Amino acid sequence: MDNWNGIGSLLIACLELLLLFNLLVFIEKNKINKIAMVMIALLAAYQSMEFLMCQVGLQDSFYPYLAFVIIGFLPPLNLLLALTLTNYQNLNRNVLMIFIPAIAFSIYYLFVIPKFVVAKCAVLYASYHYPLGDLFGAFYYLPILISIVLLIKFIKKEADKKKKIIAKVLLFGAIFISLPSLLGFSLIITSNNYSIISSIESIMCKFAFIYAVCLSFVCLYNSPFNDERNYFKYLFNNK
């Protein structure tokens, strides 16, 4: 095969689907775990879309639009996961308002689908042209930043060892997926280089494979096992 574009996305999609399948079989279906599994499913769906666009050739404007709808719900889900862990969601159901920006962008983009273009495909990422990119980026990164702040505050004051470990794993994942954004903004500030911006979401989703692994760990650690299968009990048990 001469064209390897999108193959990296296919590999990551397969790995994320494998993680998801194992979680569906083995873990307890509590609230935190359900949110984490939905996030892994969306990550796998996005990587699959990227493979279809870059390798199979499905580059009609509808497909990058659908990809952006998929990834648009990841940051609010990440924030919902942090809120669920830290019990903020018990205040009222208004917490669901965090999904309003993702829904609003999905509806708006529905009317401007022809403006979505797959600008470039590579082995590991794709870049896009789409409307309101800066505004979309602001609403995309804000929930991630809020999640990081919430988790840091939670880790400092939480006494429950299990919840603290889960929060630390989620914090590591959230910081890790933010690295491409930090790199992109650094390039803009230092060298006025905007080239990475058009592919930043795609690159973040590649980094998010590590976050999918973190989410899988959280799901397993947050599920009861018989003592003979509870590896985490022995891994984190104080001696």
Mind listing the pLDDT tens digit for each residue in 118-170?
Answer: 878 877 777 888 888 878 888 888 999 999 999 999 999 988 888 999 999 99
Arithmetic mean of pLDDT over the chain: 83
CATH number for 171: 1.20.1070.10
Q: What is the pLDDT of residues 24-50, one digit of tens each?
A: 988 888 899 999 999 999 999 999 998
Higher pLDDT, 94 or 157: 157
- The confidence score (pLDDT) of residue 1 equals 46
Identify the domain containing residue 228 by its residue range: 7-236
Residue 195 lies in a domain: yes
Helix (H) or strand (E) holding 127: strand 126-129
- The confidence score (pLDDT) of residue 87 equals 80
Residue 87 lies in a domain: yes
Residue 226 has pLDDT above 80, yes or no: no
Is the pTM for the entire model greater than 0.95? no
Residue 83 lies in a domain: yes
Distances (CA, A) of 10 to 34, 45, 65, 176, 213: 24, 10, 19, 21, 17
The two three-digit tokens of residue 201, written as one number: 């979401």
- The confidence score (pLDDT) of residue 235 equals 52
Residue 2 lies in a domain: no
- Per-residue pLDDT band at 208 (split at 50, 70, 90): confident
Residue 206 lies in a domain: yes
Residue 113 lies in a domain: yes
Q: Say how many domains are in the chain.
A: 1
Residue 1 lies in a domain: no
Residue 69 lies in a domain: yes
